[in-house]
């Protein structure tokens, strides 16, 4: 009997869609009540709020989280820019599930995040955050220090009307600020973060830097060195670089095969001849230029999913949560690569997951080389064993 299920339904009647998607998700559970229900919806705030609550009522789930988004994922499909509801249901025997709601409170030093349960050998945290009222990037950075070894997976929610339209679900109630999530212990989960980039040019050492400005690469002004590398690329790669060049920062200087944290190159610093990067970069770090296109994103995700299968000896996943960037989907893949269905169909097929749901996020959370980060243009996966 399956322990995981998913459902996806679209239509202007979001209450009916929520009921249909929930019924699909719990159908495979054999009458058992889900220990965890995740609900994702897109549509007008008032209707979405009722849809989130209806899914919990229909399922009678023990714990529930969810949020609004610009698009939802269910089964092997993704739906963008249309009213829809997706549901993930899981029976998790012997797994401790603790839900939480985080809020930002004013403090003498500026602000403090409250509501996080004490970390007690938890295996993973799933976090869904409102980007307008919750500092997800700062929280994740602090979590690496305060909650060492705890992977944080999830994404930034959104509402169809922008600020104030986000809705978050936690244990049968809906809030419009902060972040919600669950802590899991004993689930045996694995994380996969596909950044969707391909390295180009040689690896280089940062020889001068200040904050997020890389001033020198291998002893040469960074902008000059980047221009030199780009001039030596094939025309096709030069064209990709012109649409959005990225910088990969090696997470382990001593590894034979580097895991890169990919960050955007935001521009040049005319005063120093440096390049401005979307993260802090220290002197001595190894970096490499990166480009992104549909083929690179597809290949990277396939390679990571193949690695999961090798690590698990081809054991299928029971279920999976997928948080895919809203810049992927139809925008990146187009009809030639499956459009909005690309990530969910590939993850479902490669992991053989019985239940797969999630949403298209405005920023994705997931660990790279053991440290949590807020990403862009990624696909972040939390895979549950059968």
Which tens digit of pLDDT belongs to each residue from 195-222?
999 999 999 999 999 999 999 999 999 9
Window from 139-153, 233-247, 250-264 with minimum mean pLDDT: 250-264
Q: What is the mean pLDDT of residues 79-95?
A: 97
More confidently predicted of 272 and 19: 19
Question: Is the pLDDT assigned to residue 160 strictly greater than 90?
Answer: no
Residue 199 · residue 248 · CB < 8 Å: yes
Q: Above pLDDT 90, what percent of the chain?
A: 89
pLDDT at residue 254 in the model: 67
pLDDT of residue 256: 67
Find the mean pLDDT for residues 25-37.
97
**Phi, psi (rounded to 5 degrees) for 239:** -65, -40
Residue 53 vs residues 14, 28, 34, 50, 168: alpha-carbon distances, Å:
11, 21, 15, 5, 10
Question: 350: which 2 tokens?
Answer: 């490669």
Model confidence at 54: pLDDT above 90: yes
DSSP code, position 259: P
On whether the CB atoms of residues 177 and 352 are closer than 8 A, the answer is: no
Give yes or no for residue 108 having a pLDDT over 80. Answer: no
Q: Give the integer Cα–Cα distance in Å for 177 and 191.
A: 27
What average pLDDT does the segment 142-162 reach? 93
Q: What does DSSP assign to residue 374?
A: E
Provide the angle, in degrees to the nearest 10, between the axes of the packed helices 14-27 and 45-59: 30
Name the token pair of 119: 């970390």
Rounded distance between C-alpha atoms, residue 178 and residue 168, angstroms:
8
Greater pLDDT, 306 or 112:
306
| Burial of residue 108 (number of CB atoms within 10 Å: 0-12, 13-18, 19+) | exposed
Residues, the chain: 386
Is the whole-model pTM more than 0.75? yes
């Amino acid at each position: 009997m399956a322990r995981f299920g998913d459902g996806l339904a679209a239509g202007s009647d979001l209450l009916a869609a929520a009921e249909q998607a929930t019924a699909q998700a719990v159908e495979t559970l054999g009458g058992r009540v889900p220990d965890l229900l995740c609900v994702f919806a897109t549509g007008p705030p008032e209707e979405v709020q009722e849809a989130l609550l209806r899914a919990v009522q229909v399922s009678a789930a023990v714990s529930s989280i969810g949020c609004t988004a610009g698009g939802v994922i269910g089964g092997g499909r993704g739906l963008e820019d249309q009213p829809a509801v997706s549901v993930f249901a899981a029976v998790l025997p012997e797994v401790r599930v603790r839900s939480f709601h985080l809020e930002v409170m004013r403090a003498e030093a500026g602000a403090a995040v409250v509501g996080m349960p004490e970390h007690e050998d938890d295996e993973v945290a799933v976090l869904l955050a409102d980007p307008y009222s919750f500092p997800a990037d700062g929280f994740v950075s602090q979590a690496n220090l305060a909650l060492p070894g705890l992977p944080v997976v999830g994404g930034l929610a959104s509402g169809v009307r922008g600020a104030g339209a986000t809705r978050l679900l936690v244990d049968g109630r809906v809030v419009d600020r902060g972040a919600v999530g669950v802590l899991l212990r004993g689930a045996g989960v694995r994380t996969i973060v596909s950044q969707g980039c391909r390295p180009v040019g040689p690896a280089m050492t940062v020889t001068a830097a200040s904050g997020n400005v890389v001033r020198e690469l291998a002893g040469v002004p960074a902008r000059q060195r980047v221009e030199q590398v780009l001039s030596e690329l094939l025309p096709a790669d030069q064209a990709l670089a012109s649409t959005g060049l990225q910088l990969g920062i090696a997470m382990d200087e001593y590894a034979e095969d580097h895991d890169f944290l990919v960050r955007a190159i935001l521009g040049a610093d005319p005063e120093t001849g440096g390049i401005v990067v979307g993260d802090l970069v220290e002197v001595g770090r190894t970096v490499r230029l990166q480009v992104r296109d549909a083929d690179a994103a597809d290949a990277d995700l396939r390679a990571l999913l193949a690695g999961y299968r090798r690590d698990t000896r081809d054991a299928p996943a029971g279920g999976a949560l997928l948080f895919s960037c809203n810049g992927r989907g139809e925008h990146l893949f187009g009809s030639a690569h499956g459009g909005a269905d690309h990530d969910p169909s590939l993850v479902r097929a490669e992991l053989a997951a019985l239940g797969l749901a999630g949403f298209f996020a405005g920023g994705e959370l997931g660990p790279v080389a053991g440290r949590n980060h807020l990403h862009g243009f990624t696909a972040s996966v939390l895979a549950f064993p059968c």
